[in-house]
Amino acid sequence: MINKKKILVTGAAGFIGFHLVKKMTSMGFQVVGIDNLNPNYDKKIKNDRIKFLNKITKKKLFTFIKCNIDKKNELMKLNKYKFVYIIHLAAQPGVRYSLLKPEIVFDSNIRGFFNILEIAKKNNVKHFMYASSSSVYGGNSKLPFSEIDNVDSPLNLYAASKKCNELLAFAFSHINKIRSTGLRFFSVYGPWGRPDMAYYLFSKRILQNKEIDVFNNGNHKRDFTYIDEVIQSIVKILKSNKFNKKKLHNVINIGRNKKIKLMQLIKYLEFYFEKKANINFIKRQKADMLETYADIKMLKKIDPSFKSTEFKEGIKKFILWFKEYHKNDFNF
């Protein structure tokens, strides 16, 4: 039976948005997905994700609309829909991109966020969920990062934009009495991933016999989180009744509570590709966090069945997809 509840997923052509649309439509939800298909990384994969979704979902369950969230007039295209939930993932992600194109990051991540809040208000949605990021923990030294820690030291504009989203969402919930939840994602990876992230970029360059730039002499550590767990968590959080009724805005770490050294990631890539990486060690950039490490007690309270994929297994699944998708032609 078709579940008539309509969900708006922004950033539907993006990595996480694509997997979320796939999951929600498989559960029978009607999903409207929006994205401006911008070229912050290879547009081909964004178009391919949408093509794939159109192929695998029943037509009535998925509608894709190309629009830019920072242009209010473009969002008029959504006026005819009545949304019950909004999951807002569209943003210009990535620390390096925010150093190169700060204005675009500001427009999409802050102005765009505000515009989507207006839609949430108009539709009086049951739950507004949005992508925050582990980068809000910025210069914090206490590990693992917990939702109750102060997050007042963003190290770059991207992190600052996510912190700003959390503040805007808090005020939005307070004024409109609508539940909102910020999802602090920790280095999400997996099939159909983002070509600008280290694990994807390194894979490509290893196969092209090109040097890979490794910042901070390889001493960065990341709490890598496999995409399937991220999607399962979003679904559980969306309909959870375990929230404190009086606390309408919450933030939740979506991580694994395990730290992986960047050099360990490279070792796994070398192992699975059966190829040695040509590494160019570079010093740390001041916009980079040294490590990320999630306290996931809150997530486990909401989803006691939460289990994480071993990093070695997750990377293997990514590589199998990567070889298949690029058909052994890595000159993209």
Ligand X SMILES: NC(=O)c1ccc[n+]([C@@H]2O[C@H](COP(=O)([O-])OP(=O)(O)OC[C@H]3O[C@@H](n4cnc5c(N)ncnc54)[C@H](O)[C@@H]3O)[C@@H](O)[C@H]2O)c1
Binding site for ligand X (CB under 6 A): 11, 13-17, 35-38, 46, 68-70, 89-93, 108, 112, 131, 133, 185, 187-188, 194
C-alpha to C-alpha distance for 289 and 309, rounded to whole angstroms: 24
CA distance 192 to 322: 8
Catalytic residues: 158
Q: How far is the CB of 74 from ligand X (least distance, A)?
A: 8
Residue 316 beta carbon to ligand X: minimum distance, rounded to whole angstroms: 19
Q: Which is nearer to ligand X, 276 or 292 (CB)?
A: 292
Q: What minimum distance in Å lies between the beta carbon of 187 and ligand X? A: 5
- Cβ-count burial 71-108 (b if 16+ within 10 Å, e if not): eeebbeebeeeebbbbbbbbbbbbbebbeebeeebbbb
Smallest separation (angstroms) from ligand X to the CB of 242: 23
Distance of closest approach, residue 29 Cβ to ligand X, in angstroms: 19
Pick the closer one to ligand X by CB: 3 or 66: 66
- Judged by DSSP in three states, 83 sits in coil
C-alpha of 266 from chain center? 22
Closest separation between CB of residue 145 and ligand X, Å? 13
221-222/260-261 β-pairing: antiparallel
| Residue nearer to ligand X on the CB measure, 11 or 212 | 11
Note whether 305 and 311 are within 8 A (CB): no
CB of 12 to ligand X, least distance (A): 7
- State the DSSP code for 329: -
DSSP for residue 62: E
Q: Residue 131's closest CA among 161, 96, 176?
A: 161
- Whole-angstrom CA distances from 57 to 66, 217, 235 are 18, 44, 18
Nearer Cβ to ligand X (38/140)? 38
Tell me which residue has tokens 């070398």: 270
Cα distances (Å, whole numbers) of residue 87 to 12, 113, 162, 215? 10, 11, 15, 33
Name the closest residue to ligand X (Cβ): 14
Alpha-helical regions (H) of the chain: 15-26, 43-56, 95-100, 102-106, 112-123, 157-176, 198-207, 227-238, 262-273, 297-302, 311-325
Is 277 in a helix, a strand, or coil? coil
3 or 71: whose CB is closer to ligand X?
71
Query: Residue 257, Cβ neighbours under 10 Å: how many?
Result: 18
14 vs 268 by CB, closer to ligand X: 14
